Structure formats: C-alpha cells, structure tokens
C-alpha cells in the first residue's frame, strides 16, 4: 500500500510565522528566512517527515486579516488539517472580543464545510500584557476550548505548552518577551503533533489523508 501524505496548513499570526527568529514564506518568499527551528511547523515535520506542513503565518495580523486570506492560504491548498491560531493581536489592539470569536468561528466552520479538519489552538501569553489584556486572553481561550467541544473538533492548548508553569500569564522562555523562542516553538509543535495524531487515531474513518496532486480529481474526504 502506498503511504498517503498528510497535508497541514499552519494558519495564523506571528506565533505561526515564527517571530522573531523566522520570517514565514508569506513574509519572505518563497521559502522563508531565518532559523527554521523558530516555527512550530518545523517541529511537526521533525516528528513526521512524511507530512507536508505549510507555514502560513503573518506577523501582526488580527483574526479578520487572517480570515480574509482563508480562501487563498487554506482552501486552495486542499489540506487535510488546518491549525487556526489567532487573536493575540486583536487583544493587543483592543478589538472586540465578540468580533474575534466570530472570525475564529467562521474559519472553523468554513474548514468543516470544506471537509478540512480544523485544529483550534489557544492564544499564547505575552509578558507585557496588562491585567485587562490577560483577562481577555483567558476568556478567549476558554471560548476556544468550549467551542472545540461543541463542534467536536480537535483542540490544542498551545497556551499551556509555552507558558511558565509558575506564572501561566508569562512565556516560559522568550528572547523578546512577546513570542516563544525556539524551545517554545518546539513545545508547540510537539503538542500540535500529538493533537493531530490523537485525532487520526480516534477518527480514522473520518480523517484519512488524501492525495493532493494535480492529477487527482476524486472528491476529497
């Protein structure tokens, strides 16, 4: 039997792009620039070299901006999974929490409608967040976790993967206080890998990898 490659789109902002150590392929075409270990997508491919993981992160983007490119960066790529990680820039810029939720929900539902499995990822902390910003992140992450249960989609607590156990509102390790360092991105990648593996194990009939070559014209699963 020929092994089928799993295709994953990593969609989000700076914490998907790999800031500050890496510029994503969208930021520095065609292959990105910097330390590849400073992106969680790299660590997923370390665990699964047979998987194709596309880094579609852009530093500084809000969820409305990420949603605007969903068709191009997700639908047109025809992935099996899309990891959706966004919201921290909305919080930083004081955007409406209801708007953030609506944007994330639109991405989750569009993926489901297209037979793509969405992986909901929780928003990471940053060390300079005010008390009110931390409260909004807590509320948003609670909503992400509960929405994943309602929609029966996989969820990865990337917040927990990178936060300081002694102070969950701060990053465990960071070079700029705003983003994880390479060790943090590795922890994110490993956590996301386990989330996808668990989903495949428990929903094997619903999430079989499909061929994505141009010659394949059969209906996607």
The full set of domains in the chain, from first to last, is 7-202 (3.40.50.1110)
H or E segment at 23? strand 22-23
Are 57 and 16 a contacting pair, CB within 8 Å?
yes
H or E segment at 33? strand 33-34
Global pTM value: 0.90
89, two tokens: 């820039």
Separation between Cα atoms, residue 90 and residue 209, nearest integer Å: 33
Separation between Cα atoms, residue 16 and residue 40, nearest integer Å: 7
pLDDT in tens, 152-194: 999 999 999 999 999 999 999 999 999 999 999 999 999 999 9
Paired residues of 117 in beta bridges: 81
The pLDDT confidence band at residue 4, using thresholds 50, 70 and 90, is: low
Helical spans, DSSP H, in the chain: 14-17, 40-47, 63-68, 70-73, 88-92, 97-113, 131-151, 158-162, 182-202
Number of other CB atoms surrounding residue 110 within 10 Å = 17
Paired residues of 10 in beta bridges: 55, 83
| Residue 75: strand, helix, or coil | helix
Q: Which of 2-11, 61-70, 102-111, 185-194 has the lowest mean pLDDT?
A: 2-11
Q: Which of 59-68, 95-104, 185-194, 204-213 has the lowest mean pLDDT?
A: 204-213
Q: How many CA atoms lie within 13 A of 35 on its CB side?
A: 12
Residue 195 buriedness (CB in 10 A; 0-12 / 13-18 / 19+): buried
Residue where the block lists tokens 């708007």: 99
Instruction: Find the angle CA(178)-CA(144)-CA(205) to the nearest 5 degrees.
Output: 120
Separation between Cα atoms, residue 145 and residue 25, nearest integer Å: 29
The conformation of residue 77, written as its DSSP 8-state character, comes to G
pLDDT of 35 strictly over 80? yes
- Spatial neighbors of 196 by CB under 8 A, at least 6 apart, are 6, 8, 44, 81, 119, 154
- Spatial neighbors of 107 by CB under 8 A, at least 6 apart, are 11, 63, 66, 67, 70, 74, 82, 84, 118
What is the reported pLDDT for 5?
Answer: 84
């Amino acid at each position: 039997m020929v092994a089928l490659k799993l295709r994953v789109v990593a969609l989000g902002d700076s914490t998907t792009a790999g800031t500050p150590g890496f510029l994503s392929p969208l930021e520095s075409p065609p292959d990105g620039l910097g330390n590849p270990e400073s992106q969680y997508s790299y660590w997923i491919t370390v665990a699964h070299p047979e998987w194709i993981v596309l880094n579609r992160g852009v530093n500084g983007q809000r969820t409305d901006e990420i949603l605007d490119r969903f068709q191009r960066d997700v639908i047109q790529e025809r992935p099996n999974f899309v990891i959706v990680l966004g919201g921290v820039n909305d919080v930083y810029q004081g955007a409406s929490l209801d708007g953030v939720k609506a944007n994330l929900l639109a991405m989750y539902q569009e993926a489901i409608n297209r037979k793509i499995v969405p992986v909901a990822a929780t928003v990471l902390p940053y060390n300079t967040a005010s008390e009110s910003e931390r409260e909004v992140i807590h509320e948003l992450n609670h909503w992400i976790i509960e929405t994943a249960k309602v929609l029966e989609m996989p969820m990865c607590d990337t917040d927990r993967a990178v936060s300081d156990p002694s102070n969950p509102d701060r990053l465990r390790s960071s070079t700029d206080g705003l983003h994880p360092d390479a060790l943090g991105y590795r922890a994110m990648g490993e956590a996301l890998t386990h989330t996808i593996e668990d989903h495949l194990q428990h929903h094997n009939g619903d999430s079989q990898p499909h061929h994505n070559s141009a010659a394949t014209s059969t209906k996607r699963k």
